[in-house]
Amino acid sequence: MIECRQLKKSFGSAVAVAEATLAVAKGECVALLGPSGCGKTTLLRLIAGLERADDGMVAIDGQTVSNHTIHLEPSKRGVGMVFQQLALWPHLTAEQQIRIVLHAWPKSNDRKRDACATRVGEMMALVRLDDKAKRYPHELSGGEQQRLALARALAPSPKILLLDEPLSNLDVELRRELRAELSRIIRAAGTTMLMVTHLPDDAEAMASRVLRMEKGRIV
């Protein structure tokens, strides 16, 4: 489902990713574990299309999305991503956060609005926020915000889900509670997942396979 071969990325003289090769099978949940600055977030952004590789290849579901001549834009890669800072829109309610990524607002036709409403309801139920649909991000707890960000990423039914340090900003107790909850949600959605983290406990609890990254290389 995800294939990276000999990926390279530098920022000036600083090498972020050095000949990284990675394969994730369909339906697999994989964690990339490494210290801060090892290049794991840059690798995630290369897969998502948010950064362009200097060299190497990325393929998603058998389609080459990045090489020396191709750079498919992020919106066409079938990728959902949850950023470390979540990036929830402060002026939108929980249900609006999901609706906006489905591109269905009041001006859409009736069929699209109905399908959107159904999908929003499904996602709110999946992350157990049914009763918080009208709340804004600042009215949600840290764990609820995390689940909402995950619902927003999953709403368009992406081929793959990328998670950047999904639990690193939470306290130890809440992190422990959310590991199982996020794993349940991801497995229920049936999505292929690649997460990056510097926390071994998170990697081992949420992934079926853990890879290590050091100094821009997967070891």
33-88 pLDDT, tens digit per residue, is: 999 999 999 999 999 999 999 999 999 999 999 999 999 999 999 999 999 888 89
How far is residue 187 CA from its own chain's centroid? 14
Cα–Cα nearest to 136, from 124, 126, 119, 148: 148
Q: Quote the pTM value.
A: 0.89
Give the pLDDT confidence of 126-174 residue by residue, as tens digits.
999 999 999 999 999 988 999 999 999 999 999 999 999 988 877 788 8
DSSP string, 19-68: EEEEEE-TT-EEEEE--TTSSHHHHHHHHHTSS--SEEEEEETTEEEESS
Q: Which amino acid is at 132?
A: K
Which residues, 6+ apart, have CB-to-CB distance to 104 below 8 Å?
A: 112, 113, 115, 116
Read off the pLDDT band of 115 (50, 70, 90): confident
Residue 116's pLDDT band, with cuts at 50, 70 and 90, is confident
Predicted confidence (pLDDT) at residue 103 exceeds the cutoff of 80: no
* Poorest-pLDDT segment among 44-48, 101-105, 183-187: 101-105
Q: Dump pLDDT digits (tens) for 16-41.
A: 999 999 999 999 999 999 999 999 99
- Residue given tokens 């090892």 in the structure block: 38
Cα separation, 144 vs 147, whole angstroms: 5
Is the pLDDT assigned to residue 108 strictly greater than 60? no
Which of 72, 48, 60, 82 is CA-nearest to residue 154?
82
Q: Give yes or no for residue 104 having a pLDDT over 70.
A: no
Say if residue 105's pLDDT is above 60: no
Q: What is the pLDDT of residue 201?
A: 92
pLDDT over threshold 70, residue 111: no
pLDDT of residue 15: 96
Going by pLDDT thresholds of 50, 70 and 90, the confidence category of residue 110 is low
